[in-house]
Amino acid sequence: MKKMKLVMVGNGMAGVRTLEEIIKISPDLYDITVFGAEPHANYNRILLSPVLAGEMTLKDIMLNDVDWYEANGIRLHLDKQIARIDRIARKVVAADGTEESYDRLLLATGSNPFVLPIPGKDLPGVITYRDIKDTNAMIDAAGKYRHAVVIGGGLLGLEAANGLKLRGMDVTVVHLAEWLMERQLDKTAADMLKKSLENKGLRFLLQKQTTAILANESGRVGSVSFSDGAQIPADLVVMAVGIKPNDDLARAAGIHCTRGVVVSDTMQTYDPRIYAVGECVNHRGVAYGLVAPLFEMGKVAANHLAHLGIGRYEGSVTSTKLKVTGVDLFSAGNFQGAADTEEIVLHDAIGGVYKKIVLKDDRIVGSVMVGDTGDGAWYFQMLREKQNVAEIRDHLMFGQSHLGNTGHQGQSNAAQMADTMEVCGCNGVCKGVIVKAIKEKGLFTLDDVRKHTKASSSCGSCTGLVEQILASTVGGAYAPQLNKNKPMCGCTDHTHEEARKVIREQHLLSIPAVMHFMEWRTPNGCASCRPAINYYLLSTWPHEALDDPQSRFINERAHANIQKDGTFSVVPRMFGGVTTAADLRRIADVVDKYQIPTVKVTGGQRIDLLGVKKADLPKVWADLAMPSGHAYAKALRTVKTCVGSEWCRFGVQDSTQMGIDLERAFAKMYAPHKVKLAVSGCPRNCAESGIKDVGVIGVDSGWEIYVAGNGGIKTEVAQFLCKVKTADEVLEYAGAFLQVYREEARYLDRTVHWVARVGLEYVKQRVLEDTAGRKALYARLLYALQDEKDPWQARAQGVAKHEFEALTV
């Protein structure tokens, strides 16, 4: 079949990203031709400032070189301006007469700098700041002249001013508004920024209106004059007063435009054969200038151009997280506040830190920060998800990471870290390696960085740091991806929540059925989505959906923990941490008989037998005659207890028996991630209930239940859920809590992540306020666990024999 022809006008970041997406999902659908007005292939426009400042070269900022186009069979016309679109003949015509016909046309013409309509705007030495040509003109001028005037105190203007200053020019920034970057900063923040830039030698003229640019005797720009009559010398004038979508081509072709090419949620223009993405677009009345929304548009456009037709772009809430000349800034939403908003402010002028959070009805509606912007992503996520922050209001200002994060020397501010410092303690990745990969490989997202460097790809505790590094390295380009709309994996565009919903509503019972219904792109998923779907099926339809062992990680398939040398570890269940001489004797005999090299007491009051050969597992289990401890599974692990009132002189409740009862009731309970419980017999809390998924503390008058604690990667103190009187109530409330988690959390969410997302209020409403709902949840949990066989004893009797035996030749 003859391929369809796709022509793209414009060769910038948004357009080329769209092509990359198309090539990824439908490599053979189109013959692609690209017209670029610049003589360069695709480069990272955001990094023009470092080029101007002399920190990077053009080569460093290339994203796709000419070889990339060739390798993907794309015909590339550089330095060719398209003069018109002939929609009837379906072709584009370049200024030099080159014609190209299309089946689909993609407009990615970007934006043009706004030029003030004042006398002298066309003089030699007056330029805008948009592309490589402008950058080179500035570098060139800096080598010859002294006085530079930058008109516009926005991001671009300040970056230009900084670059010119570093190249030795005397720079004055002229700005019409009362303070710098008034769209992103409030006055306090802007004053701090101004002060730090003045310390670097920049000069500012605020509330100044430029009225004319005057020539010197040689006909080049010589000075700038203002409405108040003042005049200053200028050998170079850079206009950086704003950009406007470049919709000229589309407008001339009769396509509907209003401040940009108007597109639908599928990025289609009013001509259904023509799509548009990037800064030239007007989507629901908004034109975007940040990279993250442009990339989101590209993804949607690619999906539709590839005939998949499932994506929708619904607009982006943007935040600005930037580094202006070494000063970290963050702003999002309504940072100015209004009559009906409240503010939390921290201002340390000497230390250079300013943080303001604007709240309305207990929700974050805006934020602006200078100096310490590490928590910007966190605030922004809560802003976008409209999360109620009433409960965390008292420590909101101190950020997400004020509790101990392990693995990177307690650092929470990437900017203060040296290149040689380790960011990711799991994979041994230093800051310098991450920065290098971002620059050299043109990475823009957390996932990209994870793939290329492995940083933050294991335990994830350094995710915040990696995001900060990404933000400061790619500049204004970076917007943290919202978890909410994040696809499950590369196999699909659907989210975890969508998969759960479909499984429930369509009563789907197998992985192939889910993948077929939701139009998975891959024939049988991947190692990331298959275990998740398998869990969703089993947790939604217990006793109905069939477990697929091949979609479980090896530990859950072999019912033991794989170790680095390929052997396994075996942890028998000891209910409540209580054992007997007979059990210990059998364990000792098994260790001798199978020559098990290491026997270790675990942190969860059990015994770990390490170094068992896979083929020996069924025999070991048969000889142990103890139930599986599920130490290998996303399931109930251990219930840690103290000795409690039976022996302890301080104990007020029988915590040991309570722990045994909980463990007996919930053993064999699979969950989105591992689940750990603890029961202490008095508030001295020797069982460490404060850092468990469910922690129970005995008090004289009953039991306190705490939830969503975590003692691992990031220490999280469990939150108080409720106090109950009886052991039966402990079972019911804890069970109901765990069942909501089982039914609603994403696979691999610990309880702490899930509760952080839905809020403790929601959990209280489901478990405490809705009595009938609680009882129903508890009943559903007991139903799911009913008749669940012990996996070890089943395998000791020959179930899944093939899993443990080699083929014999």
For another protein, the binding residues (CB under 8 A) are: 451-452, 522-527, 530-531, 549-554, 557-558, 562, 564, 566, 802, 806-809
Q: What is the closest distance, in whole angstroms, from the C-beta atom of residue 433 to another protein in the complex?
A: 13
Looking at the DSSP bridge assignments, the partners of residue 226 are 210
Q: In what order do the strands lie in the sheet with 353-360?
A: 319-324, 327-333, 363-370, 353-360, 342-348
Minimum distance of another protein from residue 444's CB (angstroms): 15
Minimum Å gap between C-beta 142 and another protein is 38
Shortest distance, position 525 Cβ to another protein, whole Å: 6
**Could you tell me which of 728, 684, 679 has the C-alpha nearest to residue 706?**
679
For the chain, what is the radius of gyration of the CA atoms? 31
d(CA 248, CA 240): 21
Gap between the Cα atoms of 400 and 739, Å rounded? 27
CB of 806 to another protein, least distance (A): 4
Report whether 82 contacts 35 (CB < 8 A).
Answer: yes
Rounded to a whole number of angstroms, the minimum distance from the CB of residue 556 to another protein is 11
Rounded distance between C-alpha atoms, residue 124 and residue 694, angstroms: 72
From CA 289, how far away is CA 286, in angstroms rounded? 10
Give the residues across from 705 on adjacent strands. 696, 722
The three-state (H, E, C) secondary structure of 706-734, written as one string: EECCECCCECECCEEEEEECCHHHHHHHH
Q: Closer to another protein by CB, 28 or 122: give it.
A: 28
Q: Which is nearer to another protein, 121 or 452 (CB)?
A: 452
The one-character DSSP state at 409 is T
| 385: its two tokens | 């998800």
800 phi/psi in degrees, rounded to 5: 50, 45
Nearer to another protein, 418 or 806 (CB): 806
> Closer to another protein at the Cβ: 59 or 802?
802
> What is the closest distance, in whole angstroms, from the C-beta atom of residue 460 to another protein in the complex?
13
Minimum CB–partner distance for residue 551 and another protein (Å): 7
CB nearer to another protein: give 144 or 564: 564
Tell me how far apart the alpha carbons of residues 75 and 100 are, in angstroms, rounded to a whole number. Answer: 11
CB of 184 to another protein, least distance (A): 35
Complex with another protein: residue 376 or 531, whichever CB lies closer = 531
Distance CA 370, CA 327 (A): 7
Q: Please, is 586 exposed, middle or buried when counting C-beta atoms within 10 Å of its C-beta (0-12, 13-18, 19+)? A: middle
State which amino acid sits at residue 139: I
- Measured from the CB atom, is 522 or 765 closer to another protein? 522
Q: Choose between 510 and 579: whose C-beta lies nearer to another protein.
A: 510
Instruction: Judge whether 317 and 286 are in contact, CB under 8 Å.
Output: no
Q: For residues 243 and 426, which CB has a smaller minimum distance to another protein in the complex?
A: 426
Q: How far apart are CA 693 and CA 698, in angstroms?
A: 17
Residue 534 token pair = 């398998």
CB 387 within 8 A of CB 442: no
Measured from the CB of residue 42, what is the shortest distance to another protein in angstroms?
20
CB-based contact 108:245 (threshold 8 Å): no
Distance CA 77, CA 11 (A): 9
CB of 562 to another protein, least distance (A): 5
- Residue 418 vs 809, nearer CB to another protein: 809
Whichever of 28 and 340 has its CB closer to another protein, that residue is 28
Least distance to another protein, CB of residue 807, Å: 5
- Residue 243: strand pairing partners: 113
In three-state secondary structure terms, 84 is strand
CB of 672 to another protein, least distance (A): 18
- Whole-number minimum distance, CB 795 to another protein, in Å? 15
φ/ψ of 399, rounded to 5, equals: 85, 175
- In the complex, least distance from residue 751 CB atom to another protein, rounded to whole angstroms: 24
Q: Which is nearer to another protein, 91 or 613 (CB)?
A: 613
Q: What does the DSSP 8-state code read for residue 259?
A: S
How far is it, in rounded angstroms, from Cα 686 to Cα 632?
25
User: 């559903």: which residue's tokens?
Assistant: 780
* Region at 740 (left for phi over 0; alpha for psi -120 to 50; beta for the rest): alpha
Closer residue to another protein, CB minimum distance, 258 or 524: 524
Residues in the chain: 809
To another protein, the closest distance from the beta carbon of 661 in angstroms equals: 35
Rounded to 10°, the helix 376-384/463-474 angle is 100
Beta strand ranges found along 538-693 (DSSP E): 561-562, 568-570, 598-601, 607-612, 636-641, 675-680
d(CA 453, CA 447): 10
- Looking at the Cβ atoms of 346 and 799, the one nearer to another protein is 799
Query: What is the DSSP track for 3-60?
Result: PEEEEEE--SHHHHHHHHHHHHH-TTSEEEEEE-SSSS-EE-GGGHHHHHTTSS-GGG
Of the two residues 88 and 807, which places its CB atom closer to another protein in the complex?
Answer: 807
- How far, in Å, are 500, 696, 701 from residue 776 at the CA level? 19, 22, 27
381 within 8 A of 399, measured Cβ to Cβ: no
The encoded tokens of residue 722 equal 């409720």
Is the CB of 1 or the CB of 807 nearer to another protein?
807
Shorter beta-carbon distance to another protein: residue 177 or 794:
794
Query: Nearest distance from residue 548's CB to another protein, in Å?
Result: 8
Given the complex with another protein, which of 620 and 658 has the nearer CB atom?
Answer: 620
Shortest Cβ distance from residue 793 to another protein (Å)?
22
- The dihedral over CA atoms of 133, 139, 141, 146, expressed in degrees to the nearest 10, equals 150
